[in-house]
Structure 1
Amino acid sequence: MIITDWRRVPPQARGATVALGNMDGVHLGHAAVLRAAHAARPDLKLAALTFEPHPREHFRPDDPPFRLTLLPAKAAALEAAGAAIVFALPFDDAFAAMPAEGFVEEVLHRGIGAKHLACGADFAFGHRRGGDVELLAREAEKRGMGLSIVPHVMQDGEAISSTLIRRLLQDGYPERAAEKLGRPWEVRGTVVHGDKLGRVLGWPTANMWLGRHLEPARGVYAVTVALPDGSEAKGVANVGRRPTLGGDPETRLETFIFDYGGDLYGKEIGVRLVRFLRPDAKFAGLEELKAAIAQDVEDAKAALA
């Protein structure tokens, strides 16, 4: 259940134990906050409270896209991690101007009727991020709400964070990002019509725009693909702007799915990056490009074997 208006929460969604945060990516640290919320009050429904758009998108709209998960994928990941309810609250000027105490009183207490809260140790909220976990503890206690503060989840000596996962993807390490997410990173979107060149070359591709997703390292990846019927296939994908063909103004994700002949135009798929194979490159002509793709297919099959 996704609820976007904290002023009109249905009675059955009130009184939950609530995990708080932006939760971009829904990584292992976010899963720990959800577990803490549930462990504190296993008798209550488990909810996650997040913001849409991400506050950074609101304050810095001209930044390059950076999202690990857009709302539908984020809500699905939160539900998979146990949340029965996802509060995706619209983050606009009025919400940004709300004082921290007002957020606790109006949104958490009166609006959604939270009984217990859980958040990471660095959770900040309210106007100019004026509220921290100490203020949250004080204000929650006044209203009879419990609070669990969850320490960072560490892996390989560093704290798991959305920022770290973004950096790993931009540096071409999707398998290391997957260790921190608990699953491969996925770009979910609608397949659009391309120029059909892949079909001519013998490797028809499913084309997607990255849109508001983070742009990972440009190049070729071994991937798995979540198909519309719920099955998963293997493939090879390119993230880039097609320099050999004159260049695109926008980055696209082109995926050749092994042993697949279905029509995906207009349908939603998820492309999961498994292994970075090589950087984007400019080839002398179509024959050289064709030979490179043939090698990429073999390399991807080997990586996925």
Structure 2
Amino acid sequence: MSKTFRHLTGAEPLDATLRGGVVAIGNFDGVHRGHQAVLQRALEEAARRGVPVLALTFEPHPRKVFRPDVPIFILTPPAMKARLFGQLGFDAMVEQPFTREFAALSAESFVTDVLERRLGVSHAVTGFDFHFGKDRQGGPAFLMASGERHGFGVTLVDAFRDEGAEVVSSSRIRGLLQAGDAAEAAGLLGYRFTVQAQVTAGQKLGRTLGFPTANMALPADAALKHGIYAVRFRRQDGSLHDGVASFGRRPTVDENGAPLLETFLFDFSGDLYGETSSVSFFGYLRGEEKFDGLEPLVAQMRRDDAEARALLSGVRPLSDLDARIAF
């Protein structure tokens, strides 16, 4: 990622250098291989035209607005989504606040207020099933006709199917991660599932056991299966470390606590507190267990260490994006 990437939120004005670009439109939660098919078309169109390329996303997820009582596991919160767009080669991510008022805009208002006036779009790229405006009145045909009226081009991208001919979707990936299948989820994402958060101080129990950990609190809606994982940990300075991580409630020492991601970095000693770091999940080793004391817990942690080292020793990037994120 050589060029400067911009993450624009709220009503932040669009720099003149970003107007007139190609805009990929969608929620893009997960930035998975299906989304990447849309994003790649936008990148290609922008390169052909010699104009900027932007991603227009919506925050929070529309389901959080319309069904706030039903939790949804967000795969890529805004900061992570922006990081992925930047690595793919986008110039900016425009984060449109999604409110009931915004949802009540007519489809025509979305085109004129957002695409035309705010973004100055020259070409829009989106999935074949993208709907917008009040009561989802705007669809592919409406967008195509709007482009003709307002002077911008439109590309619609068909659903992307995996090697088993199944459509790749965020909901499928959520289900796999909830089941602990990090490897299968990575196959659909096109990169290893990655979270990022600030490292916080913990109880320091791991340090006394010989396994000091970097503790990170994930969002409350993170429904990743509790258990032990082989991971890679990227520090704020960009350095990468193999490790083994536990996500869950730590039943042996604090079974009533909030879920916590605790990562033991191999062959590392240092202070990580306060750093915003990321963890990429390569494989699920086992579920959480409650041990009868600390001695059997430590014995199992040593076995987890060895298994994670073995798993990580043979991994290869799944894609260029995976190489940039987790290698």
Shared fold per TM-score greater than 0.5: yes
Q: 1:228: how far off? A: 1.7
Contact 1:168–1:174 (8 Å) recurs in 2: yes
**How many residue pairs align between the two structures?**
305
Q: 1:237 Cα shift?
A: 0.4
Which residue of structure 2 aligns with residue 252 of structure 1? 260
Corresponding position of 2:35:
30
The amino acid of 1:107's aligned partner reads V
Distance in 2, Cα, partners of 1:212 & 1:90: 21
Contact 1:65/1:211, CA 8 A, preserved across alignment: no
Q: How does 1:27-176 map to 2 (within 5 A)?
A: 27-41=32-46, 42-43=48-49, 44-155=51-162, 156-176=164-184
Deviation (angstroms), 1:240 = 0.6
Aligned to 1:69, what secondary structure does the other structure show?
coil
1:6–1:109 distance in 2 versus 1, CA, 3 Å? farther
Deviation larger for 130-139 or 18-27: 130-139
C-alpha contact (below 8 Å) 1:18/1:49 kept by paired residues: yes
8 Å contact kept, 1:70–1:213: no
Deviations 1:56-113 (A, max 9, x none): 2233334335111111111111111121121111112321221222111111112211
Amino acid at match of 1:300: A
CA distance in 1 between partners of 2:230 and 2:126 (Å): 35
Code of the residue aligned with 2:76 in structure 1: it is T
Q: Name stretches of at least 5 consecutive residues in structure 2 with no aligned partner.
A: 1-5, 314-327
Task: Assess if the C-alpha contact under 8 Å between 1:234 and 1:257 holds in 2.
Answer: yes
Question: Contact (CA 8 Å) 2:147, 2:154: kept in 1 or not?
Answer: yes
Mapped partners of 1:286, 1:7: distance in 2: 52
Partners of 1:131 and 1:99 in 2: CA distance: 8
Q: CA deviation at 1:4?
A: 2.2
Counterpart position of 1:3: 8
CA distance in 2, matches of 1:7, 1:274: 37
SS at match of 2:29: coil
Determine the structure 2 residue equivalent to 1:277. Answer: 285
How does 1:186-201 map onto structure 2 within 5 Å? 186-201=194-209
1:161-199 Cα deviation digits (max 9, x unpaired)? 111111111111111111222211111000111111111
The Cα of 1:5 is off from its aligned counterpart by 4.2
Partner of residue 215, structure 2? 207
Q: Residues 2 and 40 from structure 1, CA distance in 2 versus in 1: closer, same or farther, beyond 3 angstroms?
A: same
How far off its partner does 1:215 sit? 2.1
Whole-angstrom CA distance in 2 between matches of 1:17 and 1:58: 28
Give the SS at the match of 1:158. coil
SS in 2 for 1:254: strand
**1:301 maps onto 2:309 in alignment:** yes
Shift of 1:292: 1.4
Return the alpha-carbon distance in structure 1 between the equivalents of residues 43 and 304 of structure 2: 45
The alignment-based identity, stated in percent, is 43
TM-score (norm 2): 0.89
Displacement after TM superposition at 1:26 (Å): 1.2
CA RMSD in angstroms comes to 1.6
Query: Match of 1:19, as an amino acid?
Result: A
The 3-state SS of whatever aligns with 2:252 is helix
2-structure distance, mates of 1:213, 1:188? 14
Partner of 1:179: 187
Q: Which amino acid aligns with 1:265?
A: Y
The answer on whether the counterparts of 1:67 and 1:212 sit within 8 Å (CA) in structure 2 is no
SS in 1 for 2:243: strand
Q: How many angstroms does 1:249 deviate by?
A: 4.0
Q: Which stretch shifts more, 222-231 or 247-256?
A: 247-256
Secondary structure at 1:164 match in 2:
helix
The one-letter code sitting in structure 1 at the alignment partner of 2:247 is: V
